Amino acid sequence: MKEFSLSIIAPAYNEEENINNFYNTIKPILDKCTKNWEIIFIDDGSRDSTLELITNLNKSDERIKIISFSRNFGKEIALTAGIDYADSDVVIPIDTDLQDPPELIEEMIKYWREGYDVVYAKRKVREGESFMKLFSASIFYKVMGKMAHINIPENVGDFRLLDRRVVLELRKLKEKTRFMKGIFSWVGFKSKEILFERKKRDAGETKFNFWGLWNFAIDGITSFSMFPLRIFLYSGFGVMFFSFLYALIIIFKTLYFGADLAGYPSIMVTILFFGGVNMFAIGVIGEYLGRVYEEVKNRPLYIIDEICGLEKKSR
């Protein structure tokens, strides 16, 4: 078969317990796939010995490449940096905790050879995750499916194969608020799904908490849907319509039956209810306005402190 180049994108934030095991696990798999492979580790401002361990791997294997950020910019930005610097025929993002099995890489490449530009891994079982996390994830994907104008596959993470031409298109997207699952879906191309059972983390603890997942969901919804704004457009029209009808009823009642003394409780409930609706609406508008503010500032997505094995590019 025709030889090809392969880049693995591996974001790492405080993953000192997983780095060596990840390398020892994935190396023989990559050797079976192609002779021309590399692993691009993105150290996302780790505070432990993650960078030191990656540097040691680089000294023993020149196919290990390193991008070290000046601080923690987040996983979505780390993935973006990896995509910016991966120049192979095939690019595969994968976490270093081994929850996504590297053994699937061979199957992904098989489908790529058959003509698929994107091959994504879908979790049919998610071990070691709480009921609340599974439930909230299910709700999120259902909400996104209703709101977004693109199809974002449910229970699919960042672990996927990307053909080079997909990577080139991804590089053109420079929005500051990055929801990579949506961005991967937005570019389109011929895609193939493969199923797998997600394992527990090999070591260490997940960096996501409920608050982080909540903010992640808000980023996803506001990045790919205007539906939250339309809700208040439609609800505002509905309130205006019923208020007009209510006003007609009051006028009719006053003309024919006289005016009643207004009740203080009903007035307060009405004021508080619509005050709350207004505050919530302003908050939603503020989320979108805040994203416009981020874009207008036009700051770089990330700042690289050190780079090893790769030629630094201007961004």
For residue 27, the model assigns a pLDDT of 92
Beta strand ranges found along 55-126 (DSSP E): 64-69, 90-93, 118-126
The fold of the 5-208+301-308 domain, in CATH, is: Spore Coat Polysaccharide Biosynthesis Protein SpsA; Chain A (3.90.550)
Question: CA-CA distances (angstroms) from residue 218 to 161, 228, 232, 235?
Answer: 26, 11, 17, 21
Q: Is the model's pTM score more than 0.75?
A: no
For residue 302, the model assigns a pLDDT of 87
Least confident of 172-181, 211-220, 250-259, 298-307: 211-220
Q: What is the mean pLDDT of residues 176-185?
A: 80
Is the model more confident about 152 or about 213? Answer: 152
- Rg of the chain, C-alpha, whole Å: 25
Q: Which residues of 115-150 are buried (b: 16+ CB within 10 A; e: fewer)?
A: ebbbbbbbbeeeeebeeebeeebeebbeebeebbee
Least confident of 153-162, 179-188, 215-224, 241-250: 215-224
Domain parsing of the chain, residue ranges: 5-208+301-308, 227-297
For residue 42, the model assigns a pLDDT of 93
Is the model more confident about 294 or about 136? Answer: 294
Give the tens place of pLDDT for each residue, 13-47.
888 888 999 999 999 999 988 889 999 999 988 88
Give the tens place of pLDDT for each residue, 87-106.
899 999 998 888 888 989 99
Q: What is the mean pLDDT of residues 46-75?
A: 90
